[in-house]
Amino acid sequence: MPTTNWTGRIIWCYHNRRRSQYLDLACFLIWHIVLSPVSRTSSILDTLLFAPSNSPLQYPIQGFTVRPLVPTLIPGTVRCTSVFSLLFQSVHFSFEHHEAVFPIAIRQPSAPVLFDMGTNVSDQVTITTKTFMRYKELKVLIRSLRQFYKDVVLVVADDSFTPENITEENVLQYVMPGGQGWFAGRTLAVSQVTTKYFLWVDDDFLFTEKTKIEDLVEVMEATPELDVVRIILFIDYFYIMNKEGDGVTGGCMDRKPDIKFQSLPNYPQCSIVNGVVNFFLARTDAVNRVRFDPKLKREAHSEFFMDGLGQLMVASCGHVSIGHQPKGANAQYGRFRHPGKDDMQFKLQLHYYKNHLQCIHYG
């Protein structure tokens, strides 16, 4: 086989593909690592594979990962006798009357993203919030935060129509055009986080002696698979079932409250759930991969977790809590607080198109 360049090797493999009953393993790697396209929505890994009960062949039935453009010897296999299509992403090989197949994942190894955890909570966590025409409540929130965490940075996304300047120390105020909405503000606030974790709070919450951020960090550090952890506050957690439909009509999502799965190892007060609302600690890089859709302005809570279903591992914990300020009269804010029928209709239309759904059921 020529060794000067990939093009020469590909041409050689094509013209010699039927010269022998064996397909050289290097040719297989060229076909599949250099040329084969990878689908964005499905892969060979979606196919259920069974190991033959009486096969003497040795191979990695769970699959094997290789880098693109890097010839890689697949451990445990023999020479392949099948001719491979450029569209396949699986290995087919045979020996005598025995045949086997296993998947190949072609991807680059991801680079690590490291954070300096420092020695205290302010090095580990940024507080984030979104405010809209509620400066009185925001100032009460800041005062309660400083009673317990004097140095933790608070990022405020502000889309009030008449912004007021917030001058408190360690508060970063980002003023937006007026009325940009709930998820646009969340996206902006999280984009400015430089710590490993962020704690999302509403602007009318109250930090108390039971709001132990370090306890939530401990849970996250002990459970690397976890992306989001929430504490007790009103509606606690919910379950989302995604019923996949066909390629034309789409499926359905069922959202049901107060359904949880098993407890976290070593933390019986924490349980795996599908989604939470309003108050949670999250890994910054994990949330940035899913993102809060800025098209959702006023009618949005669980939608982020619908988008993150299957991508985020979420837990709800009962050993940390936060307070809520008494509701005060704010006529100007009240006009925008409750969304109308048009907002709900837009949200459903967005779900049906973006998530390819034909129905959503809220339990």
Start-to-end Cα distance in the chain: 63
Residue 304: exposed, middle, or buried by beta-carbon count in 10 A (0-12, 13-18, 19+)? Answer: buried
Residue with tokens 């809209």: 132
Tokens 């919450």, residue located: 205
What letter would DSSP give residue 21?
S
Confidence class for position 229, pLDDT limits 50, 70, 90? very high
Give the integer Cα–Cα distance in Å for 115 and 7.
42
- Name the more confident of 72 and 158: 158
CB atoms within 10 A of CB 280: 24
pLDDT at residue 3, rounded to an integer: 47
Is 227's pLDDT higher than 90? yes
Given CATH 3.40.190.10, say whether it is the number of domain 121-327+335-362. no
pLDDT band at 242 (very low <50, low <70, confident <90, very high): confident
Domains of the chain: which residue ranges?
A: 6-106, 121-327+335-362
Percentage of the residues of the chain whose pLDDT score is greater than 90: 40
Note the pLDDT of residue 236. 55
Q: Output the pTM of the full model.
A: 0.77
Give the gyration radius of the chain's Cα atoms.
Answer: 26
Residue-wise pLDDT for 115-143, tens only, equals 899 989 999 999 999 999 999 999 999 99
Q: What is the pLDDT of residues 256-298, one digit of tens each?
A: 888 888 999 999 999 998 888 788 999 999 999 998 999 988 7
For 8-23, the pLDDT digits (tens) are: 544 444 455 444 433 4
Statement: residue 193 has pLDDT above 90:
yes
**Digit-coded pLDDT (tens) for 61-90:** 777 777 777 777 777 665 444 334 333 467
The string of DSSP letters for 155-224 reads EEEE--SS------TTEEEEE-STT--HHHHHHHHHHT--SSEEEE--TTEE--TT--HHHHHHHHHH-T
- For residues 35 and 281, give the distance between their C-alpha atoms in angstroms, rounded to a whole number: 42
